[in-house]
């Protein structure tokens, strides 16, 4: 069973069909999704949603859909992703209208806490495109420190950051 995590403003819930519209809104928007391989068509968006759901069943971890408690809307995802032969990583995306409100940070703190406390992971890492300055800023806000640089099987090199266990449980 995929757990639900609650914070002060958010619910991190298992991704499901009702999330598809938020996925489409994000992944078909060039500006929003350019650091995530977008924009992509609806069929590819459908495949992303199915992959996010399937990750939980194949790997025992995955991303959660971010739901606002205030109106039950879905505004992004946050959790863990691992491509074949890639390192496991903390990842997130948030719709443009929900950015700059601390949503990604709040969700990430909750996901990282869960990884350490419930999954019993020894380490949480993340990486991003070198041009993704917003993601790098969030990782540094989470206390992430560059641990190494690695060349991935797509031919690109990326800095890998280690994120420490949060000092206290997420709100």
- What DSSP line would sit under the chain, residue for residue? ----EE-SSEEEE---GGGHHHHHHHHT-HHHHGGGT----HHHHHHHHHHHHHHHHHHS--EEEEEETTT--EEEEEEEE--TTS--EEEEEE-GGGTTSSHHHHHHHHHHHHHHHTS--S-EEEE--TT-HHHHHHHHHTT-EEEEEEE-TTS-EEEEEEEPPPSS---
Is 168 among the domain residues? no
- Residue 62 clears pLDDT 80, i.e. is over it: yes
Is 86 among the domain residues? yes
Is 144 among the domain residues? yes
Find the CATH number of the domain harbouring 45.
Answer: 3.40.630.30
Is 18 among the domain residues? yes
Percent of the chain with pLDDT over 70: 98
Is 84 among the domain residues? yes
- Residue 169 clears pLDDT 60, i.e. is over it: no
- Residue 170 clears pLDDT 90, i.e. is over it: no
Which tens digits make up the pLDDT trace of 71-110?
Answer: 999 999 999 999 999 999 999 999 999 999 999 999 999 9
Is 48 among the domain residues? yes
pTM: 0.95
Is 19 among the domain residues? yes
pLDDT of residue 1: 87
pLDDT of residue 168: 65
Is 171 among the domain residues? no
- Number of independent structural domains in the chain: 1
pLDDT of residue 167: 80
Residue 87: give the domain boundaries. Answer: 5-163
């Amino acid at each position: 069973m995929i757990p639900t995590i609650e914070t002060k403003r958010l619910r991190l819930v298992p991704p499901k069909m009702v999330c598809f519209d938020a996925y489409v809104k994000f992944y078909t928007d060039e500006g929003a999704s350019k650091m995530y391989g977008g924009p992509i068509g609806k069929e590819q968006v459908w495949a992303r949603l199915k992959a996010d759901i399937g990750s939980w069943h194949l790997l025992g971890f995955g991303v959660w859909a971010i739901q606002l408690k205030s109106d039950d809307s879905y505004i992004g995802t946050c959790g863990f992703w691992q491509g074949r032969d890639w390192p496991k990583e903390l990842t997130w995306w948030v719709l443009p209208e929900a950015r700059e409100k601390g949503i990604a940070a709040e969700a990430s703190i909750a996901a990282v806490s869960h990884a350490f406390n419930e999954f019993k992971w020894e380490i949480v890492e993340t990486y991003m495109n070198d041009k993704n300055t917003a993601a790098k800023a969030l990782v540094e806000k989470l206390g992430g420190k560059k641990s190494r640089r690695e060349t991935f099987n797509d031919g690109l090199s990326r800095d890998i950051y280690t994120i420490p266990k949060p000092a206290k449980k997420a709100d």
